[in-house]
Structure 1
Amino acid sequence: MTATAALPTPVRRSRPRVRGLLWTLLRLHRTALWLWLTFVAATAGLLLWLLGPGADATQAKLDAFGYSGVSAAAWSSDAMGSFTSGTYNDLFYAPSNLITIASFAIALFAGGPLIARELENGTAQLAWTQSVSPARWLAAKLAVPAGFVVLGTTLLVLVYRQLWSAHSNLLLAGIGPTSIYYSIGPSTVAAPLLGLAFGALAGLVLRRTLPALAVAGAGYFVVYAVLGKHWPFQGDYPQPGVRSRSWAITSTGAEVADPGCYDSQKCLAEHDIAGFGREYLPSSDYWSHQLLETGVLLALTALLVTAAFVVLRRRGTTA
């Protein structure tokens, strides 16, 4: 008899754990992912329309009133009456408002569906008992959404800056761009990351979906309000990089101080105002302020993320 050596049992190689964790995360939150991609695509589409067809149509209307300026918008009283609502001027600021709303939505998503819901229904604990450690679970939960947030907001900021550079002259004279400052710089990318970290920490601490949603939304609102209204690095100007100078134009073509009445025919007649003009003053401190604000936002985000891992380590094994 001849002895035969047993053939080695083939070993099935499974996919790397990290890849499996990422795939599970994307599949679990695919609805939120599609909503985010839809938001980015729709907002970018609006910005591109404002950059192209919308700007062309608005410039054509201004040309009909005899204005074809490049560096400042000079509006006659008649032209102003036809651009008071639902127009290019209003739509120009809509993406900024949408980005702000998105930051709050990210905080709510992180506090509720991303973290608290999985802790509440036991999905996270089940993953921890298998091949995924709590730290790796949380790292993936934060890294994957953060990547999509950074890519999406960066795209919107770049297109917004291009729009601002190309067509800010078409905005209504006398109305300052109070929110544009936060929408054309890197702080716009950092703000949603702060919301993501704040929501994740709320979810880990409370471990209940509805309370985490409430705390994440209210808490991020307070933080946003404090940073937006009492930002210590802006000096005397709420928008240091895009502050403007506006003036009025009389029927003789003379430039006079802006009386501040844009839709009152009586006031315009009393001051003999035939049009308005505005130009944006360059500011050397724009980037220094933007970078400082971005650094502070990222530092706060890092502190919140660190706190989240500390909470997870202390409470994860007792869940």
Structure 2
Amino acid sequence: MSVSTLEKAPAPAVRHATPGLVRTVLRLHRTALWIWLAFVAFTAGLLLWLTGPGADATAQKLETLGYSGGVMEAAYTSGTLLYFTSGAYNDLFYDPDTLITLASFAIALFAGGPLIARELESGTAQLAWTQSVTPARWLTAKLAVPAAFVVVGTGLLTLLYRQLWSAHGNLLIAGIGPRSLYFSLGPATVAAPLLGLALGALIGLAVRRTLPALAFSGFAYFLVYAFRGNHWPFQGRYQQPELNSSSHAITSTGARISDPGCYTNKNCLAKHDIVRFTREYLPSPDYWPRQLLETGILLALTAAAVALAFAVLHRRATAV
């Protein structure tokens, strides 16, 4: 066998390393994968229920109470039955937003701990680097595989959330400002957990210890979340820039008039011949500029964290 043949022999192993490494990542972290799939299925099921049976049941109950327009301005003042009829649906409406936020924290913790730091701490990563897998390929697979599942899962949930918002935003309790959804209806919902993944990987590579990496990853993403909620460009703690409403009253003849604001005053309702109300929640005109601005910043920070992660990996691998 010639020298040139010997030099070319390892090539097939390197060429097939990436698919094999993807399978290894899936097999090694199959528990986390099943948890993620279960989370997506549960949250999607909740969104579909809110869009279908939950909304229909709430609208029917409200109609029997005389609120056929589906608007709940009187929910806090007109009685216990109406409050529970509307309040339960209103609270559930925001639960997917909470679940998606918690999932982003979980992704950062997973990336910092089990995905990266644990393999460095146990020596599994160093063993892989001595085989046919380069450190760069190893980290690429470690990031690409979970990133693909994160994008598909959060993308699906975002689409379902937008469908729910468009179809049944009128079933939210009005009378006070609706709670902000923290941009859970657009692409920033997908970009945020990707930043958590990148930060977790960077911290895992820097710390190389599972428990400290978990703690630092969670803290780092908490800072990102707090910054988004309070100091993000064009957004503040008391602002709800993505929400806008249009409210009208409907008379017995079907005419639409300006909302006089007398939702529980029977004399006022009779005076204006009002039989029901309508209210529509819409994105504000500058919703998409803000949404795209936040998405761009999140993706830029993600790219910076990934670049730093590869730089730290190169230094670690060179030291080994």
**TM-score scaled to structure 2, two decimals?**
0.83
Displacement of 1:232 after TM fit? 1.5
Residue 75 of structure 1 corresponds to 74
- Matching residue's letter, 1:33: L
1:33 to 2:33 alignment: yes
Residue 55 of structure 1 corresponds to 55
Task: Give CA-to-partner distance per residue, 1:121-164, whole Å, 9 cap, x none.
Answer: 00000000000000110011001000000000000000110000
Task: Give CA-to-partner distance per residue, 1:265-316, whole Å, 9 cap, x none.
Answer: xxx88xx899987543552211111111100000000000000000011122
- Aligned partners of 1:227, 1:235: CA distance in 2, in Å? 9
Residue 310 of structure 2 corresponds to 309
- Aligned partners of 2:194, 2:177: CA distance in 1, in Å? 27
Residue ranges of structure 2 left out of the alignment (5+ in a row): 1-8, 250-256, 271-275
Determine helix, strand or coil for the equivalent of 2:193. helix
Residues 175 and 112 of structure 1: CA distance in aligned 2, closer, same or farther (over 3 Å): farther
Residue 140 of structure 1 corresponds to 141
1:291 to 2:292 alignment: yes
1:167 to 2:168 alignment: yes
- Matching residue's letter, 1:191: A
Q: Percent identity?
A: 67
Residues 273 and 131 of structure 1: CA distance in aligned 2, closer, same or farther (over 3 Å): farther
- Matching residue's letter, 1:110: A
1:234 to 2:238 alignment: no
Are 2:188 and 2:294, in contact at CA under 8 Å, matched by a contact in 1? yes
Displacement of 1:84 after TM fit? 6.5
- Aligned partners of 1:192, 1:310: CA distance in 2, in Å? 22
Residue 130 of structure 1 corresponds to 131
Residue 6 of structure 1 corresponds to none
- Matching residue's letter, 2:190: V
Paired residues, number: 295
Residue ranges of structure 1 left out of the alignment (5+ in a row): 1-10, 263-267
Task: Give CA-to-partner distance per residue, 1:179-212, whole Å, 9 cap, x none.
Answer: 3242111100000000000100010000000000
Determine helix, strand or coil for the equivalent of 2:228. helix
- Matching residue's letter, 1:53: P
- Matching residue's letter, 1:92: F
> 1:90-239 residue pairs with structure 2 within 5 A?
90-234=91-235, 238-239=239-240
Residues 29 and 285 of structure 1: CA distance in aligned 2, closer, same or farther (over 3 Å): same
Determine helix, strand or coil for the equivalent of 2:309. helix
- Matching residue's letter, 2:125: A
Determine helix, strand or coil for the equivalent of 1:280. strand
Displacement of 1:317 after TM fit? 2.8
* Worse overlay, 172-181 or 54-63: 172-181
Residue 300 of structure 1 corresponds to 301
